[in-house]
């Protein structure tokens, strides 16, 4: 089923098109590594255009007033933090700059470490106080029960914050107990968690939601944005770069655009190479067939 | 009873969860909240079950000196170390957090980063214009790959006041054909989920009891 | 949704209630039809036709089969479908005396899978072939699981890989590694984001509902067949409603006030 045809020519040498169609994996890996690494050292500063989805994400936070509550859910673990951390940092910078009240939580066991780091750094940058300007409710097992239960009572779902402080003693959570009390929910996710927030929190309780997703996941989010079940979203590192440009703070998103551009360009070049080889192979086969037909006639 | 009990229980809880969606009755909503609370307890127990399975699996490997038992020693040692570190200095500081930031995070990120290389080699191998559908896949893939980075935005032209680039075509592909296809698959998958849920509630689907189809 | 609701029925959810009743009725009708022995047709699914061939290949080469049920827990539909397909694959593996290796990310899925495989071997008269060490738990970590499966593929060199279930970003790592070992690969997932990777890297791919249809297709059990037909008819009904709605919208006729449906709820802009 996987036998490769013997493409050696009369002289026993591999035809050129065979080389084009069968570049060694390791060569591809080395070229991609160089394409990603070099622009990080020698930046190109390629310009970034803003997409409507990223603009909508920005506008949703921008329309809020100081003191409005938002929930920020860190729905990812260290494996995807390279793509999603820039979104988290930018969102918190935007929120803290507008003096919004941030209720952070995570639905992943590996999320607290990330949340503590991002919250700690951005809160220190803006002089935000824990308990009054932001809180971290921590990790709750079973995301489905968590999302659904929060619709009935946030404090029953998280009786204490991540540090063990009773939720009802935190100044920020006074009078805040349901989605109806929250202006906006932000899900930063590389998985279907965003869809679950939309279906359960948005569909059941009418919660307004925006999301930051990895590039793979973002492709699935378009239908929800199109039907306005999602008010805005960021797609991949490019989305993070667009958002950083909007809040006028260069971060890892903008810095990564050159490397991503070069990597994509090289992948396309390899694809073109493979197809050039395919065309050459077909032309060669056609020529051989014509030659055999001619000699037979 | 061993097989009937879970099926009956599944039916009762399944019907409760179905009915609660359509009724605001306080008693039923209270039972719904009870189920959600118990669901979290069960989930926590499954996490413990997972750890127990992990320890038993690797302990057996060490006891029997099976191939690769050295790695099992490292696994159990790592597990004990992280539990001890969390108990000693907590999760928010000390060796536990240090190990998370300097060992686990880089290791997990590295594994995910491998995808960049695998995507390159898989794309190179798979995107060949052998037929009409393959050529369509190839074309869409190239357009979206370039259109989603700043480079694709630079490859364009002005037509009057508007600027058209690969990014414009990429956005159109993502917002129209992609949305249509995704909606179709989404509806189909969700109907499949509803059908399977109804089968489980009615006891037709009993795979969770360990009986195959 | 604003304000406290009272009474026994939430009128806002009437369309969902009607849809549920219609869907349930159609499903039950076809399940009863299947019970009564009515023949029900389902189309050919290439990936499932290849299961016998794939197991046979592993037997001829004297190499094992690797089966991954995905990363989701037992309560997820894709995992339930995967375990159903596993039963069929295990029966064939038992008949051909081919070793079946199954690394798991979830302890409960592992427990269920062990039970299913043991029963499958017993049904074909080969309970001696069952080895619980071949169906094992690896780790809860996503990429830890991917690394474990890749390590198994590189060491054991299975002739056939099955990736049936719900997968996440590790799908391409698994599929590419399997490809590098020269195995024939059959994938099936309802995870939209991973389908392109499986399509590129595997020989056969079951897309979305084909995964759910898989166990029905292989076992031909009447009850499951009836449920599958019911699902298809319900989809046709939904398609008709969508078409009518689209035509009405194009004609500028808004029937939402008549049906008592408001503007889009949730995070709408």
Touching A: which chains, 3+ CB pairs < 8 A?
B, C
- The answer on pLDDT for A88 being more than 90 is yes
Nearest to C157 by CA among C89, C58, C88: C58
Q: What is the mean pLDDT of residues A259-284?
A: 92
Q: Which domain holds residue C161?
A: 46-219
Does A43 contact B at CB distance below 8 Å? no
Strand residues in chain B grouped as ranges (E): 156-159, 162-165
Higher pLDDT, C262 or A42: A42
Give the confidence band of A1 by pLDDT, cuts at 50, 70, 90: very low
- The answer on pLDDT for B161 being more than 50 is yes
Does B60 contact A at CB distance below 8 Å? no
Within-domain flag for C4:
no
- The answer on pLDDT for B136 being more than 60 is yes
Q: Cβ contacts (< 8 Å) between A191 and chain C: which residues?
A: 168
3-state SS record for A6-51: CCCCCCCCCCHHHHHHCCCHHHHHHHHHHHHHHHHHCCCCCCCCCC
Q: Which of A81, A253, A261, A262 to mutate to test the interface with B (most CBs of B within 10 A)?
A: A261
Poorest-pLDDT segment among A94-98, A236-240, A241-245, B191-195: B191-195
Query: DSSP 3-state assignment of C96?
Result: helix
pLDDT of residue C260: 67
Q: For chain A, give the percent of residues with pLDDT over 90.
A: 78
pLDDT of residue C5: 60
Higher pLDDT, B47 or A93: A93
Q: What is the mean pLDDT of residues A43-59?
A: 94
pLDDT of residue B48: 85
If you search the block for the tokens 């927030």, which residue do you land on? A197
- The C-alpha angle with vertex A96 and arms to A95 and A102, in degrees rounded to 5, equals 70
| Subunit contact B146:A82, Cβ cutoff 8 A | no
Question: Could you give the CA distance from residue B172 to residue B176 in angstroms, rounded to a whole number?
Answer: 6
Query: DSSP 3-state assignment of A160?
Result: strand
Does B113 contact A at CB distance below 8 Å? yes
Touching B: which chains, 3+ CB pairs < 8 A?
A, C
Domain count, chain C: 1
DSSP string, B123-175: HHHH---SSHHHHHHHHHHHHHHHHTSHHHHHSEEEETTEEEEHHHHHHHHHH
Question: Could you give the CA distance from residue A59 to residue A50 in angstroms, rounded to a whole number?
Answer: 12
Does A77 contact C at CB distance below 8 Å? yes
pLDDT of residue A208: 97
pLDDT of residue B210: 58
- The C-alpha angle with vertex B14 and arms to B13 and B20, in degrees rounded to 5, equals 85
- The answer on pLDDT for A6 being more than 60 is no
pLDDT of residue B62: 94
Q: Cβ contacts (< 8 Å) between A49 and chain B: which residues?
A: 150, 153, 167
For chain A, the domains span 1-42+264-292, 52-250
| Subunit contact C265:A202, Cβ cutoff 8 A | yes
Q: Which of C266, C268, C269 to mutate to test the interface with A (most CBs of A within 10 A)?
A: C266
Average pLDDT of every residue of chain A: 91
| Subunit contact C267:A180, Cβ cutoff 8 A | no
Nearest to B23 by CA among B31, B34, B12, B13: B31
Please give the interface size between A and C, counted as residue pairs whose CB atoms are below 8 Å apart.
Answer: 62
pTM: 0.84
Q: Which positions 138-197 of A are in contact with B (Cβ < 8 Å)?
A: 140-142, 144-146, 148-149, 152, 156, 162-163
- The answer on pLDDT for B31 being more than 50 is yes
CATH number of residue C51's parent domain: 3.40.50
pLDDT of residue C27: 87
Dihedral pair phi/psi, residue B63, rounded to 5°: -55, -45
Q: Which positions 19-58 of C are in contact with B (Cβ < 8 Å)?
A: 20, 23-24, 27, 31
If you search the block for the tokens 């491998």, which residue do you land on? B114
DSSP string, A55-95: HHHHHHHHT--TT-EEEEEEE--GGGHHHHHHHHHHHHHHH
Average pLDDT of every residue of chain B: 87
Minimal C-alpha gap between A167 and chain B (Å) = 17
Q: Cβ contacts (< 8 Å) between B52 and chain C: which residues?
A: 107
Query: Which CATH architecture describes the domain A52-250?
Result: 3-Layer(aba) Sandwich (3.40)
Poorest-pLDDT segment among A101-110, B189-198, C78-87, C213-222: C213-222
pLDDT of residue C1: 40
Q: Cβ contacts (< 8 Å) between B33 and chain A: which residues?
A: 149, 152, 156
| Block mean pLDDT (10 aa), chain C, length 269 | 64 86 89 84 81 91 96 87 92 94 91 94 94 88 89 94 92 90 93 86 87 80 82 89 91 81 46
pLDDT of residue A182: 96
- The answer on pLDDT for A5 being more than 60 is no
């Amino acid at each position: 089923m996987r036998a490769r045809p013997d493409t050696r020519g009369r002289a026993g040498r591999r035809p050129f098109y065979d080389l084009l169609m069968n570049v060694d994996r390791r060569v591809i890996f080395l070229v991609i590594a160089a394409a990603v690494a070099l622009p990080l050292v020698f930046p190109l500063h390629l310009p970034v255009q803003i997409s409507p989805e990223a603009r909508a994400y920005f506008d949703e936070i921008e329309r809020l007033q100081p003191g409005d509550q938002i929930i920020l859910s860190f729905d990812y673990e260290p494996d995807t933090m390279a793509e999603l951390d820039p979104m988290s940092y930018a969102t918190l910078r935007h929120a803290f700059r507008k003096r919004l009240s941030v209720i952070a939580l995570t639905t992943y066991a590996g999320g607290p470490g990330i949340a503590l780091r991002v919250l700690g750094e951005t809160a220190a940058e803006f002089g935000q106080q824990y308990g009054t300007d932001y809180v971290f409710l921590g990790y709750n097992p079973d995301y489905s029960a968590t999302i659904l239960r929060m619709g009935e009572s946030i404090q029953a779902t998280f009786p204490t914050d991540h540090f063990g402080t009773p939720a009802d003693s935190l100044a920020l959570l006074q009078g805040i107990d349901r989605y109806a009390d929250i202006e906006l929910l932000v899900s930063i996710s590389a998985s279907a968690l965003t869809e679950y927030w939309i279906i359960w929190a948005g569909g059941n309780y009418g919660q307004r939601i925006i999301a930051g997703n990895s590039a793979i996941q973002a492709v699935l989010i378009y239908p929800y944005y199109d039907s306005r079940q999602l008010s805005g979203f960021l797609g991949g590192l490019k989305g993070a770069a667009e958002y950083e440009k909007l809040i006028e703070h260069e971060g890892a998103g903008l810095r990564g655009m050159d490397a991503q551009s070069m990597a994509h360009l090289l992948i396309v070049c390899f694809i073109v190479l493979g197809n050039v080889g395919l065309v050459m192979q077909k032309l060669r086969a056609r020529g051989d067939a014509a030659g055999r037909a001619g000699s037979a006639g | 009873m061993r097989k009937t009990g879970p099926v009956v229980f599944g039916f009762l809880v399944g019907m409760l969860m179905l009915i609660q969606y359509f009724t605001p009755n306080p008693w039923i909503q209270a039972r719904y909240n009870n189920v959600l609370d118990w669901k979290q307890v069960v989930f926590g127990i499954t996490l413990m079950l997972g750890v127990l399975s992990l320890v038993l699996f690797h302990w057996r490997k060490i006891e029997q000196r099976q191939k690769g038992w050295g790695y099992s020693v490292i696994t159990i040692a790592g597990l004990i170390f992280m539990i001890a570190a969390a108990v000693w200095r907590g999760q928010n500081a000390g060796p536990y957090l240090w190990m998370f930031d300097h060992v686990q995070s880089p290791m997990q990120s590295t594994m995910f980063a491998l995808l960049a290389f695998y995507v390159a080699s898989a794309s190179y191998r798979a995107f060949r214009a052998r037929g009409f559908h393959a050529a369509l896949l190839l074309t869409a893939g190239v357009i979206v790959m370039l259109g989603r980075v700043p480079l694709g935005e630079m490859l364009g032209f002005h037509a009057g006041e508007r600027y058209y680039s690969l990014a414009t075509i990429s956005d159109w592909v993502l917002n129209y054909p992609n949305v249509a296809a995704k909606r179709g698959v989404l509806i189909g998958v969700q109907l499949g989920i509803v059908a399977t849920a109804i089968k489980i509630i009615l006891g037709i689907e009993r795979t969770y009891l360990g009986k195959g189809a | 949704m604003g304000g406290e609701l009272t009474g026994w029925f939430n009128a806002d959810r009437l369309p969902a209630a009607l849809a549920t009743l219609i869907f349930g009725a159609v499903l039950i009708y076809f399940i009863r039809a299947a019970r009564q022995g009515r023949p029900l047709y389902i189309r050919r699914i290439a990936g499932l036709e290849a299961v016998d061939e794939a197991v046979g290949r592993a037997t001829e080469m004297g190499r094992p089969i690797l089966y991954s049920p995905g990363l989701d827990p037992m309560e997820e539909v894709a995992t339930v479908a995967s375990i159903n397909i596993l039963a069929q694959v295990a029966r064939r593996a038992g008949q051909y005396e081919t070793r079946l290796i199954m690394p798991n990310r979830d302890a409960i899925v592992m427990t269920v899978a062990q039970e299913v495989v043991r029963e499958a071997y017993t049904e074909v008269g080969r309970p001696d072939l069952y080895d619980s060490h071949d169906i094992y738990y690896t780790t809860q970590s996503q990429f830890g699981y991917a690394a474990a499966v890749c390590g198994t593929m590189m060491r054991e060199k299975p002739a056939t890989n099955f990736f049936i279930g719900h997968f996440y970003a590790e799908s391409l790592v698994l599929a590419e590694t399997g490809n590098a070992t020269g195995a024939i690969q059959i994938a099936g997932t309802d995870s939209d984001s991973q389908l392109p990777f499986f399509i590129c890297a595997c020989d056969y791919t079951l897309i979305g509902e084909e995964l759910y249809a898989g166990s029905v297709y292989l076992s031909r059990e009447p009850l499951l067949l009836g449920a599958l037909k019911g699902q298809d008819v319900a989809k046709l009904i939904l398609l008709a409603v969508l078409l009518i709605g689209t035509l009405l919208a194009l004609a500028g006729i808004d029937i939402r006030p008549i049906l008592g449906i408001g503007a889009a709820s949730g995070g709408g802009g």
